Structure 1
């Protein structure tokens, strides 16, 4: 169920965002390659570089939602990375693995995509 909601929400958001936005520098070619934090602790995640966290998040997204179209991977990965990074700053501990928090972060991603979809739909109606 979560996979279906994420796929539907991200597609609407991607289409709306893609209508007038260029590719952000954060998503330069190869941004989703080379992540090494799959077994990282929350402490390791907190001190990892942004590019590694983002690339690892892309791997998590592709693993959890293998049939997600590539257009949805950047925004979903960015939201998962933000969630894990925010958590890691509060709970930078060695006894919790970052991947153990993925259920929460995928729920967060679903909620945020829903909010973005509503916001862009509202803005689209306002400009008509």
Structure 2
């Protein structure tokens, strides 16, 4: 994966969080701790609370990208959580584990970050 998109994308993080990526306190202190869905089925993921899905996603991100910048962790985790949650609502089954869908969700996250970065660049050029 090309995580170069993360370099200098702090503003994209701010834009996404400011655009209402979830509840206002979604990233309150400790948001990335206590996830218990590492072996959850897609059905379990679908019925889990948002805070548990987000914290578990943060764990997945840290596992896959050990050197992830702390300022990028919220946006990457939120995108991975969104992808898994969207999939779990369509395929809430007990025979597929959520972590089995991480390759797809990390590809999705990389595409979304690329789009955010491009959108930010377009807006910056338009205001010059």
Q: Compared with structure 1, are the counterparts of its residues 84 and 65 closer, same or farther at alpha carbon in structure 2 (3 Å cutoff)? A: same
**Alpha carbons 2:12, 2:120 under 8 Å: kept:** no
CA contact (8 A) 1:14 1:72 kept: no
Q: Cα offset for 1:17?
A: 7.3
Runs of 4+ in 1 over 2 A off after TM superposition: 4-24
Aligned residue in 2 for 1:59? 59
Q: 1:101 to 1:20 in 2, by over 3 A?
A: closer
Task: State the distance in 2 between where 1:35 and 1:101 align.
Answer: 17
Q: Considering only aligned residues, what root-mean-square deviation do their CA atoms show, in Å?
A: 3.2
For 1:20 and 1:36, the matched residues in 2 are separated by 25
More helix by share: 1
Q: Which moved more, 1:7-16 or 1:49-58?
A: 7-16
- Please state how far the C-alpha of 1:69 moved relative to its aligned partner: 0.9
The answer as to whether partners of 1:83 and 1:108 remain within 8 angstroms in 2 is yes
Shift of 1:25: 1.6
Question: Please, which runs of 5 or more residues in structure 2 have no aligned partner?
Answer: none
The answer to which of 48-57 and 10-19 deviates more is 10-19
State the TM-score, normalized to the length of structure 1. Answer: 0.85
Farther-moved stretch of structure 1 (40-49 vs 6-15): 6-15
What displacement does 1:127 show? 1.1
Contiguous gaps of at least 5 residues in structure 1: none
Query: Following the alignment from structure 2 to structure 1, what is the Cα–Cα distance between the partners of residues 43 and 97?
Result: 9
CA contact (8 A) 1:16 1:120 kept: no
Give the CA deviation at 1:21: 12
